Amino acid sequence: MTTHSHPITQKQSFTTVAMIELWERFGYYGMQALIVYFMVQRLGFDDIRANLVWSAAAALIYVSPAIGGWVGDKVLGTKRTMILGAVILTLGYALMAVPTENTWFLFSSLGVIVVGNGLFKPNAGNLVRKIYEGDDSKLDSAFTIYYMAVNVGSTFSMLLTPWIKDYINETYGHELGWHVAFAICSVGLIVGLGNYMITKYTLNHLGSKPDEKPVDQNKLIAVLGFSLLAVVASAVILEYQSVARIFVYLAGVVVLGIFAHLIHSSKESERAGLIAALVLTIQTVFFFIFYQQMSTSLALFALRNVDWNFQLMGMHIWTWSPAQFQALNPIWIMIMSPILAMWYTKAGQNNKDLSIAAKFAFGFAVVAIGFFIYGVAGHFAVDGKTSSWVMIIGYAFQSLGELLVSGLGLAMIARYVPARMGGFMMGAYFVASGLSQYFGGVVANYASIPSDIIDPLQSLPIYTSLFNKLGVAALVATGFALASLPLMRKLTETHHGHSNR
């Protein structure tokens, strides 16, 4: 084993985790950019089925970390579970590269991705928390930069996979391009794993208790066995929408039950922090309903009612594939993340930092502006097509809202939840986020376009009506967030009071 005489810095440890997260997100978002289009254009699903299947898959992908966090904390170890998840994800994207139109095969492949994500996601986030434990302003800044790393990976893949799909389909005249694009997602994970093997020494001092012991073969076999069952269960949930609905409602009851149990059974010194985490998690649920529109209603809006040509002062600049518009989200996040991170750090040094609750309220307000921009754009459309610049401006507001809410969600758990519950509560946070993405798909279906409507002039008012209603809903969420600020201030003061004793 190579020895390193120099002490490992926080920055080195953080970079190792951020890099594998970057490549994992490269795979995930490369797949997400295409999946709804793949179901509608390649498999012939109607809008309603495509939206609900993908939203159920997104829900499962976010719900699965609840178990993965526990496996990392108590069974295999945080680092081992993260890497096992990355290996399973590599397999999942490779399966999507198999050229078949069999829906059960697609749903099973998505099930493998669900399991891999569940093992990877909470443990990567938990390692970042362990690196910066006890330093709130550094933690907010670190998670914001971590979020930027996520978006570096997703930008490249969301621009690359639609281009590869189009290039191969147009050049070779058949539909193989879809599957080659999915294969690229798998290659990204292989690169990420290779990079991790080189730099993993920077995490030697971090992890959970099982990381300190040799691998327990029986526990590993048990985890793999349960993973196989989870793949089968996921495929069934995706095939049968009634099963998906039952699953979502049950999971929601379980999450509330977990919060209630932990708040009731926790020490008095921990209770205020847990209640604060619950209030902010409920707000996150509302946010992810808005967020899910990017890969459902907004993706299909880009397909049918957006001019794909970017023009400036009458000059043509470039043309995008409709799937590539989703890359605007990570592009804006990369632009805004460093600015926000500097603001958090500077404000923290001057004791002028806004509370997480205030940042959440501001986040909802800018999301509302984003949806109203899409809604109003319908009045300026030409032949049923809105300008591509409308997407750029709308995504800017939505992405800022995402940084202020979702980007700080993990930091919120790290700040308010005791370390002994860290992985478990991070998992519960992801469950809540996942359930709301399913509801986001249900909301997106208010703008599902019947198959007999192919005229952009007929589909445009259906989309803009939904976006205006979502803008109003985001304003209501802003009001709720503002109304909860006095309670959050009191809970935070109580939490800090106990923490400083």
Confidence of residue 8 (pLDDT cuts 50, 70, 90): confident
> What is the tens place of the pLDDT at every residue in 160-172?
999 999 999 888 8
- Determine the length of the chain: 501
> What is the tens place of the pLDDT at every residue in 392-441?
999 999 999 988 887 666 666 767 777 667 666 766 777 788 889 899 99
Which one, of 295, 289, 402, lies nearest residue 31 by Cα?
Answer: 295
pLDDT value at 114 more than 50 = yes
Average pLDDT (76-87) is 90
Q: Which residue has the higher pLDDT, 104 or 334?
A: 104
pLDDT of residue 423: 60
Confidence of residue 391 (pLDDT cuts 50, 70, 90): very high
* Upper half-sphere CA count for residue 113 (Cβ side, 13 Å): 35
Please give the mean pLDDT across all residues of the chain: 85
* % of the chain beyond a pLDDT of 70: 92
Fold assignment, 10-499:
Growth Hormone; Chain: A; (1.20.1250)
Query: Are the CB atoms for 409 and 280 separated by under 8 Å?
Result: yes
pLDDT value at 6 more than 70 = no
- The three-state (H, E, C) secondary structure of 220-259, written as one string: HHHHHHHHHHHHHHHHHHHHCHHHHHHHHHHHHHHHHHHH
Q: Which residue has the higher pLDDT, 1 or 163?
A: 163
Rounded CA gap, 94 and 186, in Å?
5
pLDDT of residue 497: 63
Average pLDDT (350-367) is 82
> What is the tens place of the pLDDT at every residue in 169-227?
888 877 789 999 999 999 999 999 999 888 888 877 776 777 778 878 888 899 999 99
Confidence of residue 1 (pLDDT cuts 50, 70, 90): very low
The count of other CB atoms within 10 Å of the CB of residue 264 is 9
- The long-range contacts involving 410-413, CB below 8 angstroms and separated by at least 24 positions, are 410/125, 410/128, 410/129, 410/143, 410/146, 411/139, 411/140, 411/143, 411/144, 411/356, 412/277, 412/280, 412/356, 413/129, 413/277
Question: Tokens for 225?
Answer: 């066995």
pLDDT of residue 140: 66
Parse the chain into domains and list their residue ranges: 10-499
Confidence of residue 498 (pLDDT cuts 50, 70, 90): low
Rounded CA gap, 27 and 184, in Å?
8
> What is the tens place of the pLDDT at every residue in 130-144?
777 766 667 667 777
pLDDT value at 500 more than 60 = no
> What is the tens place of the pLDDT at every residue in 285-317?
888 899 999 999 999 999 999 988 888 877 888
pLDDT of residue 3: 47
456's CB contacts (< 8 A; 6+ apart) are 304, 305, 381, 383, 384, 385
pLDDT value at 361 more than 90 = no
Confidence of residue 355 (pLDDT cuts 50, 70, 90): confident
Using CA of residue 431, residue 434, residue 438, residue 440, what is the dihedral sign?
Answer: positive
Q: What is the pTM of this model?
A: 0.85
Average pLDDT (229-247) is 93
pLDDT of residue 2: 45
